[in-house]
Amino acid sequence: MPARKAKNRVRAVKTPRRTSQKKPARRRTARQPLVGFIGAGNMARSLAGGLLKNGWARNRLILADPDSAQRSAVEKVLKLKTYATNNDVAARADILVLAVKPQVLRAAALELTQAVQRRRPLVISVAAGVRLADLERWLGGGLPVVRVMPNTAALIGSGAAGLYANPRVAPEQRNQAESILRSVGVTVWLADESLLDVVTAVSGSGPAYFFRVMEALERAAIAGGLDAATARLLTLETAFGAAKMALEGGEEPAVLRARVTSPGGTTEQALGVLESGGIETLFHQAVRAATRRARELAEMFGKGA
């Protein structure tokens, strides 16, 4: 009898009803635009490499270059798909990065006109000195175009770039252009295209100014008796440390300079020599000269149909 009761109790247990709750829908990740590079030189490889490091899918990056050696380097190092003809990339790309020398940009753009007019991609030009009006004319007009002035430090992921967009560039496309350039450094949007000439003179040519200062300081150290290796190490580490302090501290360079300049000390004596030699005047003259030359080159590159 006890066994039967136990059996009945087991039968009395009800199976829980299955709820009709739906499983949460899978969130679809946005499909990355296909970025195509015209040119597979140093700047294109740096940008593509930066995008890969920042999570861009390898199958969403393609490059074109007629030089087989350049294509082989991309395929070997970055493992990316390359093409020998520019139109093969232009016909596929959602974002087309023109990474060729300014002297050949006109010819490259004219070759791409039909493909880009069909595809209507966002066009990003990193060719120094070529104005948007000229580039738009060569491409047939009506396209969203962003002009960029990068610098050589982009090759090591520490670049500084100025950007200017024409009115056809949508907010999402501005973000896309910025994300591409931010993969190799910092970006600054400009309200006036003419300011890109000043950017060219400051950050575009700027690395050479600092290299020249380092070169002079290194030679002065050797003249003072230090061996070449020690002079170079101290010069480079000092330059790096000063830049890092200025970037990370958030204080004006003038404040940092004053902090390390004790009255009557060695730094004050050295700065006095530089000031008497007109260091600030020379830098103003240098930036004006580079800006003027940038405008002259833009006029030269823009000639023709």
Which residues define the annotated binding site for NADPH? 86
Residues placed in the known binding site: 38-43, 86, 99-102
For the chain, give the secondary structure using H, E and C.
CHHHHHHHHHHHCCCCCCCCCCCCCCCCCCCCCCEEEECCCHHHHHHHHHHHHCCCCHHHEEEECCCHHHHHHHHHHCCCEEECCHHHHHCCCCEEEECCCHHHHHHHHHHHHHHHHHHCCEEEECCCCCCHHHHHHHHCCCCCEEEEECCHHHHHCCEEEEEEECCCCCHHHHHHHHHHHHCCEEEEECCCCCHHHHHHHHHHCHHHHHHHHHHHHHHHHHHCCCCHHHHHHHHHHHHHHHHHHHHHHCCCHHHHHHHCCCCCCHHHHHHHHHHHCCHHHHHHHHHHHHHHHHHHHHHHHCCCC
Residues placed in the known binding site for NADP(+): 38-43, 99-102
